[in-house]
A and B are shown apart, each in its own frame.
Chain A
């Protein structure tokens, strides 16, 4: 959401607001209500990592819950510092991922914007995003005393070996076995296939939504992508996601037709790297807009659709497990640069803004090298912002303000 200022109803600003937003909020609210009342309706709740294969859960009628999405909500509602401090009192180092810290503290205190997540019946951890989730889910497994399934997706340094392929494919079937035991019923593979089709369809639509920002001026920005991301993460495989993204895509195409840009007078187009700084999205989008700059795309939100070409709808389970192993954050720097290059060209970006996110080592370590490669090869200016996605204590506003000004000056000259 670009978070246009609320004050007076400036028609100029009203025009730029994305209409679908309210529908999205409604879907997410309903989803959380359903999850929070799952016990009453006799449904199982599974916690799952954002990069994990959710489709089998949906096919088995399990309600997936995403601690990371919860972490983002905590960050956006500026409750991060308080919860992080509580986790630190519990003995968790301040240097650990703030999603994990905030979520662990929220579980222990029923704190945060929705009073804590619904308790899990079991946990599904896929380490394609990081090693942090393994440790975080072990903490949760001990805390709730529930079974933990680990889907281990070997990191792709230079190659993805046949052995790694066999390993993830074997695990996807172990995953199904695990679900059958947890749910006390057989998996319905036809249903799985259907859910897989819907998931692929949502990814396709999500990618199409992101692609609209290639248009000049961009009808939406990365900040809007951050907001609309929640659905592809949490509910892909459900029909409501397909409908929603179709509607959003239509709205975007309408905006293009009507010449509505997210940033009025868009002159500079920037690419964002890493997770959003959830408690500062509004400040950042206004800051860049004041320089006539629009963050048109980012490396983060496309993680859920970037592997689309690797998925075969007709062999969904197996190809999906391989595809999920090759997502942006699970590949080496020299493979990442290929993707960055592709995005910079596709969106015709004039500059790159990298969020060096203290919380997220797999995303952030290596950024300095990527930055050098981009400057050398693509000859565009780059900016590194040292911060954290949820822990506001790591954000120095005046310093970042000055750095953005300086960066924009280089860009303009």
Chain B
């Protein structure tokens, strides 16, 4: 299969893919919901981290455990677990981020029926030396917990090897981002979304190979020399489980060339020092890469970062894509918008519930927005 078809198929049916993959490799699968899950350690333990994106389906079983005022990532994830859709998982890891994930961890542990469960109660602030120390302690403890639950021993060498793999993946992902940003026509609109999803689902070594193949086929891509009438868009938010949004935007004349999503560029950003103590090095990536709104780097870090990306990628319009009931992102929205408004960067807000708004409605909004740019 050519790499692109592979990513399309994996991202369309992640569960089926994981099931098939597991049959072959027999490796454990550990689910996670959030980019603060220390994947490198899970991988070093011989398991494959599997990201859950929240299902796009009617919620039934999860309604008995979660109120309706809770984001679709949390509700959808629990629904799939209770419906036994996640039978290929051996357990899940919950890094501490928002209030909803915090409670989901309890509810999941008590109801989902997986033998393995990890809470990684990371610091919320990332900008002090005691927080750094605590982050290191928490990661060291997670390593121990992994060893116990998966009955393996994790050597420093294994962690370093895993770090190398992840660095290479992130490096290649970043390359792909830059190619597409330089020439949006080089890949179909929702390609990045599919690649990023696959990056969090597939066996990482297999993924890297396919990604490198894809880069190979793109190696002759030339950056566009300007003059295109199409508009350059950045998507900002948490997770994006709706690739069709990219297509609708593209049809309206806007290319998503960059993002600030945790299922997007935030995942690719930041490298881990391969020569330092591996646990400290993993901690340091978390402390320095762009933070999520559930963590604190500074009062304005996210706004500054957004403006920087807008400048560097020559962004003409920003789409805020927020999950309904996601508190951390909703709190940041007014100030991020203000930052953009002050610089005259047009932006719109799209709120996604379990399903995004009907396509027709989105189309009209995007067309109006792109026309305005």
Interface residues of chain A, those whose CB is within 8 Å of chain B, are 90-93, 95-97, 100, 127, 130-132, 134-136, 138-139, 141-142, 148, 150, 152, 154-155, 157-158, 161, 163-164, 166-167, 170-171, 174, 332-334, 356, 358, 361-362, 364-369, 386
Among B9-17, B32-40, B262-270, B331-339, the one that faces the other chain is: B331-339
Known: A157-B121, A365-B66. A95 touches B330 (CB 8 A): yes
15 A-B interface contacts by CB (under 8 A): A92-B330, A92-B331, A95-B324, A134-B124, A134-B296, A135-B331, A141-B299, A155-B96, A155-B102, A171-B130, A174-B128, A333-B106, A364-B69, A368-B65, A369-B65
Contact among B98, B124, B335 for A152, CB-based, below 8 A? B124
**Would you call A142 and B141 a contact (CB within 8 A)?**
no
B191 to chain A, nearest CB (A): 31
CB atoms of A157 and B334 under 8 A apart: no
The answer to whether B331 touches A138 (Cβ under 8 A) is yes
B41-77 contact mask (Cβ, 8 Å, vs A): 1 or 0: 0000000000000000000000011110110000000
Residues of chain A lying within 8 A (CB to CB) of residue B187: none
- Nearest A-chain residue to B331, judged by Cβ: A135
Task: Provide the bound-state CA to CA distance between A100 and B105, in Å.
Answer: 25
Please tell me if the beta carbons of A152 and B131 are within 8 angstroms of each other in the complex.
Answer: yes
**Set of chain A residues within 8 Å of B111, measured between Cβ atoms:** 369
Q: Give B contacts to A, CB under 8 Å.
A: 64-67, 69-70, 96-100, 102-107, 110-111, 119, 121, 123-125, 128, 130-131, 133-134, 137-138, 141, 293-294, 296, 299-300, 322, 324-325, 327-328, 330-335, 337, 351
Give Cα A366 to B124, complex, Å: 22
Instruction: Tell me which residues across on chain B come within 8 A of A163, comparing CB atoms.
Output: 134, 137-138, 141
Enumerate chain B residues within 8 angstroms of A96, measured Cβ to Cβ: 327, 330-331
Can you list the 5 inter-chain pairs with the closest CB atoms, starting with the nearest? A163-B137, A135-B331, A91-B334, A365-B103, A93-B330
- State how many angstroms separate the Cβ of A337 from the closest Cβ of chain B: 10
- Which residues of chain A are near B69, meaning CB under 8 Å? 95, 358, 361, 364
Contact between A161 and B64 (Cβ–Cβ < 8 Å)? Answer: no
A367 to B66 alpha-carbon distance, docked (Å): 8
Chain A neighbourhood of B330, CB < 8 A: 92-93, 95-96
Is B106's CB under 8 angstroms from A131's CB? no
Bound CA span A361–B137, Å: 28
Q: With A131-B294, A132-B99, A152-B131 known to touch, is A167 a contact of B327 (CB < 8 Å)?
A: no
Chain B at the A interface: mostly helix, strand, loop or mixed?
helix
A361 in contact with B70 (CB, 8 Å): yes
Chain B nearest CB from A364 CB (Å) reads: 6
Is the Cβ of A334 less than 8 Å from the Cβ of B331?
no
CB within 8 A of A362: which of B103, B124, B299, B337? B103
Nearest chain A CB to B79's CB is how many angstroms away?
14
Contact present for A364 and B96 (CB under 8 Å): no
Given A356-B67, A366-B106, output 5 extra A-B contacts at Cβ < 8 Å. A100-B331, A136-B331, A333-B106, A333-B110, A361-B70
| Least Cβ–Cβ distance between A120 and chain B, in angstroms | 14
Residues of B within 8 A of A93 (CB): 322, 324, 330, 333, 351
Smallest distance from the beta carbon of B173 to chain A beta carbons, Å?
28
Q: Which residue of chain B has the shortest Cβ distance to A173 in the bound complex?
A: B130
Chain B residue at minimum C-beta to C-beta distance from A329: B99
Q: CA A368 – CA B59 in complex, angstroms?
A: 15
Do the beta carbons of A368 and B98 come within 8 Å of each other? no
CB-CB under 8 A from A127, the residues of chain B are 124
Contacts of A161 in B (CB 8 A): 121, 137-138, 141
A171 contacts across to B, CB distance below 8 A: 130
Residue of A nearest to B100 (CB): A361
Assess the A91–B337 pair: CB atoms within 8 A: yes
Known: A150-B124, A361-B99. A164 touches B296 (CB 8 A): no
A367 to B67 alpha-carbon distance, docked (Å): 9
Which of B125, B137, B300 is packed against the most chain A CB atoms within 10 Å?
B125
Contact A95–B325 (Cβ < 8 Å): yes
**B137 to nearest A CB, angstroms?**
3
Could you tell me if A150 and B296 are in contact, using CB atoms closer than 8 angstroms? Answer: yes
Pick from A138, A155, A174: contact of B130, CB under 8 Å: A174
Interfacial chain B residues near A174, Cβ < 8 Å:
128, 130
Contacts of B104 in A (CB 8 A): 365
